[in-house]
Structure 1
Amino acid sequence: MDSNLDHIQLPELNLPHFEPQLQEKDGRMWVFDALRKKHLVLTPEEWVRQHWINFLITQLKFPKGLLALEKGLIYNSLVKRTDLVVWDKDGKPYLLIECKAPKVKLTQKTIEQACMYHKELKTPFLVISNGLQHICLSFNSFTEKFTQEKCFPEPPV
């Protein structure tokens, strides 16, 4: 990080450490998003999302081209945006990741919100994360039920 950014307190997350490109502009912190190839305002939620992107690509070996950010979908006639969707090689949604700020507790309400997005996309896997705690669920489309998993899903084949 740049030396002038040392005063910024960014929480250590329960995800592999990486050094995102940060810059200060107009009194705000910005982070470079390698997927969208542009700088975004660094919010606590964005800090978590950027760590997830890095983790998926560098550690879990998901192909970068299969990741999409803030995909729009309509739920109860409201336009909503998912945080991170991973597609399989056939172009079907595979993994939905809902990112929260580290201060946000993962409660039943948080899980229910992520499940609303899931109803539209019907991904086999759903992860809800505040960067410190992660809940990974697999979805059985026949029983329409979620099961909590101990491991993150492998990249789609």
Structure 2
Amino acid sequence: MPTERNPPHPTDLRLTRFAPQLNVRLEGNKRMVFCVIRKKWLVLQPEEFVRQLLLHFLIGDMRYNRNRITVERGLTINSEAHRTDLLVFDRDMRPFLLIECKAPQVPLSTAVFRQAAKYNGPMQVPYLMICNGQDSYIAEIDYHANDYRFLSAVPEWG
């Protein structure tokens, strides 16, 4: 990653307003949520809650094409297996936006941003985002200048 800098104030996407849209049920003693992308029921862990809220935001508010979003996609970096939380592709199926999700109680830090940047290394995605459900940081990457800048909003898709 390029040099360190102080990010702007985090962006509040008001994700909790999508909570009523989540399809949640009890299965035994576990709360389950239906993933609109993977089309299956998952244990409703805090990080999964953030992922699902973000999916509703991207599809509903931002009008991202649901067929261009992958969830927990595997990738290999230096022979190690990793998974991106959310990866959005553009109309030409090029990686467009990589999102690293954290549970609401996890503070967003430089380490979290570095994690997203590490996952991005082989993909060269133009936009990186980290989110814990309350706060989000979005960065546009300039590979030619080996630099980045923080944005105050999620980029338009397409």
Q: Does 1:77 align with 2:79?
A: yes
Unaligned runs of 5+ in 1: 1-12
Query: Could you list the per-position Cα deviations for residues 95-143 of structure 1 after superposition, in whole angstroms to 9, with x for gaps in the alignment?
Result: 0011000000011111111110111221110110001110000011212
Q: Deviations over 1:57-96 (max 9, x none)?
A: 0000111111111111111211000000000111110000
Instruction: Give the drift of 1:16.
Output: 5.4
**Does 2:99 align with 1:97?**
yes
Q: Is the 8 A contact 1:57 1:63 kept in 2?
A: yes
| Deviation sequence 1:18-51 (CA, Å, 0-9, x none) | 2211111131110001111110111100000000
**1:52 Cα offset (Å):** 0.5
Which runs of no fewer than 5 residues in structure 2 stay unpaired? 1-12
TM-score of the aligned structures, taking structure 2 as reference length: 0.87
TM-score (norm: length of structure 1): 0.88
Q: Higher relative contact order at CA 8 Å, sep ≥6: structure 1 or structure 2?
A: 2
Output the CA distance in 2 between the equivalents of 1:127 and 1:99: 9
User: Who is 1:65 aligned against?
Assistant: 67
Alignment root-mean-square deviation, CA: 1.2
* Sequence identity percentage: 37
Give 1:3's aligned residue.
Answer: none
C-alpha distance in 1, partners of 2:78/2:146? 19
Aligned to 2:14: 14
Is the partner of 2:53 in helix, strand or coil?
A: helix
Q: Which portions of structure 1, spanning 4 or more consecutive aligned residues, are displaced by more than 3 angstroms? A: none
Q: Which amino acid aligns with 2:36?
A: A
Residue of 125, 128, 131 corresponding to 1:129: 131
